[in-house]
């Protein structure tokens, strides 16, 4: 795996090189600034498999550099690990919104650093396998469409929607939150209850477009607040935001989301409108003294939305049975 590390501190770069070479990653290059890194990237004929970017650098900080790297087509999916000595949550949030995959903190815990680089390595290998498969099937477009169809329960890549990151990065973000920062966060899940019906009627491209439309409608419904969102699969969208605004954000989603989604008018392949049964879950708020982990909070938020979806489905079935058994109009009686 070819790694490019960027940090204005040469001692940090030397330390990174020593740690990673000892861990079995000898193909290591470094740069001391964002502009120098971009020159190296643009001039390199082979391409890099992983980036380590310091957040706080003069001239161009790591967040801006991350954004520019992610905008390059070759590096749209390459792992980007941010390096920071700062505890300010806003820097971390901005890094993930710029396209970061994960982050590590200074001073380095060697085991943690190597573990996260190895996770990035596995992600790169998986991306290569997917790319090789796609290339082999490109000649037969119809077969490609069928073979690229994801399972219903797999995440879908969503591009260019404010606040939306991939699910792998979303889980990494939550796992890195300390207890204090987790306490200041709220998690909420949104469930598209009829996702199986939608998935069965959509081509892969149609389904990706639908998921993107829902994500954009959710994003547009959260006005003036910082948040991170990801699509988990199975019609579940998860959102993290400041707990101080938990109820107001939940209310905004319930009030604004249907109208926002209607503006996108998602369609099936045959041009008919996609009927959407979306359930907005209740915010899940971690306790300060609780031993609950971030992933536990996430599971509870998802379970809440799924439970509400089941209740709504049961109510709809009951209403449908009443309509089927209702007597003709002229036989209806009204009790006073």
Residue 325 three-state SS = helix
> Which residue would you say has higher pLDDT here, 218 or 174?
218
Of 267, 92, 49, 75, whose CA–CA distance to 178 is shortest?
A: 92
Read off the pLDDT of residues 160-180 as tens digits, 9 standing for 90 and up: 899 999 999 999 998 888 766
CA distance 319 to 311: 12
Q: What pLDDT sits at residue 131?
A: 63
> Which residue would you say has higher pLDDT here, 202 or 137?
202
Among 186-200, 209-223, 235-249, 317-331, the minimum mean pLDDT is found in 317-331
Q: What pLDDT sits at residue 239?
A: 96
Q: Which helix (H) or strand (E) holds 280?
A: strand 278-280
Q: What pLDDT sits at residue 326?
A: 61
pTM: 0.71
Is the pLDDT assigned to residue 224 strictly greater than 50? Answer: yes
164 close to 219: Cβ distance less than 8 angstroms: yes
Q: What pLDDT sits at residue 289?
A: 54
Is the pLDDT assigned to residue 62 strictly greater than 50? Answer: yes
5 close to 16: Cβ distance less than 8 angstroms: yes
Read off the pLDDT of residues 232-264 as tens digits, 9 standing for 90 and up: 999 999 999 999 999 999 999 999 999 999 999
- Local confidence band at 335 (pLDDT 50, 70, 90 cut-offs): very low
CA distance 186 to 94: 17
The answer to whether the Cα torsion of 128, 84, 288, 227 is positive or negative is negative
Q: What pLDDT sits at residue 333?
A: 31
CA distance 177 to 330: 63
- Local confidence band at 25 (pLDDT 50, 70, 90 cut-offs): very high
């Amino acid at each position: 795996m070819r790694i490019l590390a960027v940090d204005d501190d040469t001692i940090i770069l030397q330390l990174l090189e020593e740690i990673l070479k000892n861990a079995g990653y000898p193909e290591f290059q470094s740069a001391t600034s964002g502009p120098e890194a971009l020159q190296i990237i643009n001039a390199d004929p082979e391409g890099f498999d992983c980036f380590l970017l310091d957040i706080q650098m003069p001239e161009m900080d790591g967040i801006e550099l991350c954004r520019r790297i992610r905008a390059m087509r070759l590096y749209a999916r390459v792992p980007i690990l941010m390096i920071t000595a700062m505890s300010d949550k806003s820097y971390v949030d901005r890094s993930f919104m710029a396209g970061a995959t994960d982050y590590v903190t200074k001073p380095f815990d060697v085991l943690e650093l190597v573990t996260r680089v190895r996770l990035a390595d596995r992600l790169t290998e998986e991306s290569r396998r997917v790319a090789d498969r796609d290339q082999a099937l490109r000649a037969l477009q119809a077969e490609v469409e069928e073979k690229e169809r994801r399972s219903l329960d797999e995440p879908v890549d969503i591009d260019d929607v404010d606040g939306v990151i991939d699910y792998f990065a979303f889980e990494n973000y939550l796992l890195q939150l300390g207890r204090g920062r987790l306490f200041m966060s709220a998690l909420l899940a949104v469930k598209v209850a009829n996702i199986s019906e939608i998935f069965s009627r959509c081509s892969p491209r149609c389904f990706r477009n639908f998921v993107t439309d829902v994500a954009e409608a959710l994003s547009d419904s959260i006005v003036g607040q910082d948040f991170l969102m990801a699509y988990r699969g199975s019609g579940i969208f998860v959102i993290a935001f400041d707990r101080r605004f938990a109820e107001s954000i939940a209310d905004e989603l319930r009030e604004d989301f249907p109208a926002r989604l209607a503006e996108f008018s998602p369609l099936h392949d045959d041009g008919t409108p996609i009927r959407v049964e979306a359930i907005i879950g209740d915010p899940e708020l971690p306790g300060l003294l609780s031993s609950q982990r971030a992933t536990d909070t996430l599971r509870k938020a998802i379970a809440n939305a799924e439970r509400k979806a089941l209740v709504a489905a049961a109510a709809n079935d009951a209403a449908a049975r009443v309509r089927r058994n209702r007597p003709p109009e002229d036989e209806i009686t009204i009790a006073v």
